Amino acid sequence: MDNVELLMSFGLTRQEARVYVLLLGEGALSGYEAAKRLGISRSNAYAALAGLVDKGAAYMAEEQAVQYHAVSIKEFCSNKLHYMEELSETLERQIPKQKQEDAKYLTIRGRRHIEDKFRNMLKETKERVYLSVSASVLDLFREELLGLVAQKKKVVLLTDEEYSMDGAIIYRTKKFENLSGTADCEGDADGQLRLITDSNYALTGELQDKETSTCLYSANPNLVRLLKDALANEIRLIEIEKKEAMEAFKAELKPLNERKQELLENIKKGSEYVENEKCVKILYHEEKMAGYYNKLGELVYSRPIMPQEMQRTIFNINRKTGTES
C-alpha cells in the first residue's frame, strides 16, 4: 500500500490524502497553490483542505492569504487512534452483547483479516495454545506468544525450523499435513496454519502473501477435536522419531566408548593387548623380569618373573652377553 492508501485507512478521501501528503512535503500552502501543484481544480483543492481541517489533519492560518498547515503525521495518527479507542469503549458499553449461536464454520478471506483473527484468538486465550505453523509466520506473532508465556499460559509450537522461545514447548517438524493426513508440497507448507486455543476454538487454512488466503474458524467440537488429534499424532510421531534417533546414536556411540575404555586401560597398564600377534618371551633372572618382544624386536610387554620361571636352564647358565673379557 502506498502512503495515500494508508492515509485512506485513517478516514481520509483519496483527494484529501494527496493534499495532506503535499502539505507535509511542501509546508504551508494556499488553496490556489495546492491546486496548481497537484493539477486539480481549485474547488476540489479547497474541498480537500476543508476536509483535512475538519478531520484534524490540518490547521488554517487566517492571514492576508489563507494558508493551510499540515498536522504532523505522528500527531494525526495518535489523535485518530485515541478517538477510535474512545469510540470502541462507548460501543462496548452501549451495544447489546452478541447473541451466542450454535458452533458454525466461518470462512475468513484475506491475509489481513486472518492475521486479525489470529491475534484476537491469542489475546482472548485463557489457558493454552497449540499452534502448527512455519517459523516465518511465527515471527509475525512472536510478541503475542511471548505475552502468553509471560502470563504462565501453556504455549505449544510445531514449526519447520529450529526456533527459540523461552517458556514455550517447541517441536521441530519436517512438513505440514492437511486435514486428510496427506503431506502438502513444500511450497504450500510455508503458509499452512493450524491454531487451537483453550481446546475450544480452532483456526485452520493458509496464510499466504496473496489476498486470496483463506482460513476456516470454528468453535465446533468436531473440528476442534479433529485438529487436536492431528496435532497430538504429529507430536507423538516427532517424539518417536527423536527416541529412535537417540537410540541409533547410542548404538553408534557404544563401540567408540568401548574403544575409549580399552585405550584408558592400556594407558594405565602401559601396554596394549594385540590378539594373535606372535611374541618372543625373554627371562631376565638377574632383574627378575620377563619381557615380550614382537617381530620387530620391540618390547611390547613386561612383567615380574613368575616362580615357575625362576629355575635356570643350561642355556640360562651359559648365556653370554658378549661383554665379558
Q: Helices marked H in 55-134 — which ranges?
A: 73-94, 111-123
Rounded Cα gap, residues 187 and 190, in angstroms: 6
Rounded Cα gap, residues 56 and 46, in angstroms: 15
The beta strand positions in the chain, using DSSP E, are 58-61, 67-70, 105-109, 128-133, 154-159, 169-172, 192-197, 201-206, 214-218, 280-284, 289-293, 299-304
Query: Contact 191/115 with Cβ under 8 angstroms?
Result: no
Rounded Cα gap, residues 170 and 158, in angstroms: 6
Rounded Cα gap, residues 234 and 228, in angstroms: 10
Residue-wise pLDDT tens digits, 126-144: 999 999 998 888 999 999 9
Cβ-count burial of 17 within 10 angstroms (0-12 exposed, 13-18 middle, 19+ buried)? Answer: buried
Rounded Cα gap, residues 283 and 108, in angstroms: 93
Q: Which run of H or E residues covers position 28?
A: none
Query: Contact 29/37 with Cβ under 8 angstroms?
Result: yes
Q: pTM here?
A: 0.56
Short-list 233, 217, 230, 136, CA closest to 178 = 230
What proportion of the chain, given as a percentage, has pLDDT over 70?
Answer: 84
Query: Contact 293/271 with Cβ under 8 angstroms?
Result: no
Asked if the model's pLDDT at residue 113 lies above 60, the reply is yes
Q: Which three cell numbers stand for residue 280?
A: 618372543
- Report in angstroms the alpha-carbon separations of 222 from 99, 105, 210, 236, 288: 22, 11, 29, 21, 87
Residue-wise pLDDT tens digits, 193-206: 999 999 999 999 98
Confidence tier at 178 by pLDDT (50, 70, 90): very low
Sign of the C-alpha dihedral computed for residues 166, 167, 168 and 170 taken in this order? positive
Listing DSSP states for 223-268 in one string gives: HHHHHHHHHHHHHHHHHHHHHHHHHHHHHHHHHHHHHHHHHHHHHH
pLDDT value for 49? 94
Asked if the model's pLDDT at residue 318 lies above 70, the reply is no
Confidence tier at 167 by pLDDT (50, 70, 90): very high
Asked if the model's pLDDT at residue 187 lies above 50, the reply is no
Rounded Cα gap, residues 207 and 121, in angstroms: 15
Asked if the model's pLDDT at residue 58 lies above 70, the reply is yes
Short-list 6, 8, 5, 88, CA closest to 52 = 8
Rounded Cα gap, residues 315 and 311, in angstroms: 11
What three-state secondary structure class fits 164?
A: coil
